[in-house]
Structure 1
Amino acid sequence: MNESTGGIREWIIPAAFLFCTGWVVWQMPAFILDIYPPKEQSLVDVMGQLYEEKDIWPGLPGLFGGHADIVDWLMLVMVPILFIIGCLTVKVAHSEFQKWRRVDRPTLFVGRVTMIIIITMTSVMLYEVFMRYVLESPTLWANELSQWLAGFVFLCSGLYVMQQRGHIRIFLLYDTLPRNLQRAFDTFGVVLICVFAFFFVYGSYQQVFVNKFYKWEMFGTAFDPPIPATVLPAILIVMTLIAVQAVINLINDWNLEKVVHSAADDVDEDEIEALKRNIGVE
């Protein structure tokens, strides 16, 4: 990547953040047992057995007399540190929305992490194809890991697209309205998003965070990833963040001048120039 888009750190920081977050998620039963253990002894025993089976680095003693070892706690500490560094150092590419504010930095960094997830998911799929059709030794984890990552790609992409104002909009009637009435329609749309997000989270919180996350429900397969325990809470969290980003967009765009859209807006001049260079047309 070139310097205008942040250089190599656009790869390293999101990749490091993804690695540390993945480590913490995989070791989450240890943190649940150490920080807020279940009251039911049977659930404690089940989660303890699950942690012993899934522990990435078995044999290390638990820190503070618990289950999570020093590496687990180090990864947990690095997650917010890398997130803050990523937010402070993220660069906006030429093809991205240019009228951004500092408050948009977390969403932009989430977009960078999503790109790394896509690369990781693609690599896993290519590895599975090679193992299955070349070596005739398919894996037990590649397909489910791809599904797991794809879920987060879908969710995080929605948040990123909201910040980029990239969702489909029909401007046929909107462009004919005066700017004050456009602001009224924008406000109404944001209110609908926030109301939907509120009732969506309110109606699902108990089922998702208590029955799925807190009990760390697994997928029930040979690889057995915690897809229900992670993707379902992520849906509620990202839905809330989308509503917050919608409010931020409304505030950021409030004083913008009226824009009349046309078909030419969808033409990327940089992409056209790149295509011309590729085919040798001046």
Structure 2
Amino acid sequence: MSIKQPVSQNHTFEDEQPKNKLDAAIISAGNWLSLLFIFTVLISFYEVVMRYVFNSPTIWVHETASFIGGSLFVIGGLYAFAANKHVRVVLIYDVVSERTRHYLNLVHHIIGIIFSALMAYGAYTLAENAWFSPSGELRLNTSGSAWNPPFPALLKAIIFVAFCILTIQFLLHLIAEIKVLRKHSHV
């Protein structure tokens, strides 16, 4: 018995193809980075065995697994946008004409550029504070645990870079949408 997923009448195979080289690179990197979820499961299993079988818990597994998972979820946002798998209000999107969809995409991309650029700025200030002391000297914020890794500073840098990339993604998608609209207006 198979369960069929509802498919939009306007859904095409092209919707799942990367729209540019950046999207293709993000999808490729994301596919490889997703293997880190397996690593996270393995080290978590190791922790359970060490704690409950050998009564020798680790000090590094929980923070490492949290850091990897958090980093992958941040990168997952880039992946979802690159693969056109992001959340969309199809109630409206699927009932309008193709031309109207292109205009809705324009609005989406412009708002996305503004949002992601502002978030990149906010992430920059957080990352800067996590990486540098008030005097400007390099010092990474750490977790404050017994192990004390610099994961908080590293995650803030990943968030900053991700929002910078997302801003570029939105810009590239906006340019592509404008080209499509221009092509349709000359036909």
**TM norm. shorter chain > 0.5:** yes
Contact 1:141 1:223 in 2 (8 A): yes
CA distance in 1: counterparts of 2:159 and 2:20, whole angstroms: 25
Contact 1:163 1:246 in 2 (8 A): no
**Corresponding residue of 2:10:** none
Higher relative contact order (CA 8 A, sep 6+): 2
1:240 corresponds to which of 141, 160, 164: 164
CA distance in 1: counterparts of 2:80 and 2:18, whole angstroms: 14
CA distance in 2: counterparts of 1:191 and 1:101, whole angstroms: 18
Distance 1:246 1:101, change over 3 A: same
By how many angstroms is 1:250 displaced? Answer: 4.4
**Corresponding residue of 1:71:** none
**Corresponding residue of 2:102:** 183
**Corresponding residue of 2:38:** 119
RMSD of equivalent CA atoms = 2.4
1:226 corresponds to which of 103, 125, 150: 150
Aligned residues: 161
By how many angstroms is 1:114 displaced? Answer: 2.3
| Structure 2 segments unaligned to the other structure (5+ residues) | 1-12, 133-138, 182-187
CA distance in 1: counterparts of 2:87 and 2:30, whole angstroms: 18
1:137 corresponds to which of 36, 56, 71: 56
- AA paired with 1:142? V
By how many angstroms is 1:233 displaced? Answer: 1.7
Percent identical pairs in the alignment equals 26
Aligned pairs (5 A) from 1:38-187: 97-98=16-17, 100-187=19-106
| Structure 1 segments unaligned to the other structure (5+ residues) | 1-93, 257-282
By how many angstroms is 1:226 displaced? Answer: 0.7
Query: Deviations for 1:16-37, whole angstroms, at most 9, x for unmatched residues?
Result: xxxxxxxxxxxxxxxxxxxxxx
Name which one, 1 or 2, has greater alpha-carbon Rg: 1
By how many angstroms is 1:154 displaced? Answer: 0.7
TM-score of the pair, normalised by structure 2:
0.75
CA distance in 1: counterparts of 2:153 and 2:131, whole angstroms: 4
Structure 1 runs, 4 residues or longer, greater than 4 Å off? 250-254
Distance 1:187 1:100, change over 3 A: closer
Aligned pairs (5 A) from 1:192-203: 192-203=111-122
